[in-house]
Amino acid sequence: MIEGLEALYMREVKRIYRSIYMWIMIISQPVMWLVFFGSSLSGLPKEVLISFFHTTDYIAFILPGELSVSMLFVGMFSSMSLIQDKRFGYMKRIFITPVPKYYVFLAKVFGGITRGLLQVPILIGTALAMGVSLNVNVVSIITIILSLTFLGMGFSSLYAMFTIRTSDWQAPGVIANLLNLPLMFSSTALFPRAFFPSWLSDISDVNPITYSAELGREVLLSGDPNWSYLGYLAIFGLIMLILGSYLTNKYMQAE
């Protein structure tokens, strides 16, 4: 039965790497953030950058943040892909075979994670090419991959859950608007916690993006990682995955 899941996952992967538009999106989106948004604070005095951002280079600061935020957008794409399969009837084709319904969900989630992870080498490579100094080694890369995997697992599942009962094209856009922006700005992905009012820092303290962004900074910049963050992200990812699988099995509609 597991070969059914493998087949559905490979379908997602093939759809990603065969589409030129997908590549343009995967490459351009994070690079735009890094180059344009990352340069927006370069005029700040060095002392301000060091005391608030703990680095002299804002690009180095947002690199782990942007990697984390991009997992949010990847979540949105998994829900769009679910809707597409409903609209074109492919979901029916899958549901008339003996594989359990939640395989569809797992394939979308892992397809989304794969897509998100493709951005790791692209972003780190771009940052290095822009002259940012990073601790690139086996431990930091593995840590980043793991934390993004858990983060992507959580968000892809969350998005997919919102799409279980609908086949409306508009749904992912609405969900993205209601989830992406608040989650992105209520985390330390783009700005340090010291800038936030207390209510925002309260949200930021439980926001998984904060944990992924901070852990990324610790391994890539300061070199003093708090490993419990990885545990937090793992729990978030796994709970969402299990919840999503359960809900899909119970409520997913073929159309």
Residues in contact with other proteins by CB under 8 A are 1, 3-4, 6-8, 10-11, 14-15, 18-19, 88-90, 92-99, 254
**Tokens 């969350």 sit at which residue?**
158
What minimum distance in Å lies between the beta carbon of 106 and other proteins? 13
What minimum distance in Å lies between the beta carbon of 207 and other proteins? 35
- CA 66 – CA 212 distance, rounded (Å): 10
> Which CB atom, from 98 or from 197, has the smaller least distance to other proteins?
98
**How much is the CA Rg of the chain, to the nearest whole Å?**
19
> Which CB atom, from 23 or from 95, has the smaller least distance to other proteins?
95
3-state secondary structure of 240: helix
For residue 90, give the nearest of 76, 77, 75, 107 by alpha carbon.
Answer: 107
> Which CB atom, from 19 or from 228, has the smaller least distance to other proteins?
19
Which two tokens mark 254? 């073929």
Which letter, b or e, does each residue of 22-33 get, where b requires 16 or more Cβ atoms within 10 Å of its Cβ?
Answer: eeeebeeebbeb
> Which CB atom, from 1 or from 138, has the smaller least distance to other proteins?
1
- CA 115 – CA 144 distance, rounded (Å): 15
> Which CB atom, from 3 or from 47, has the smaller least distance to other proteins?
3
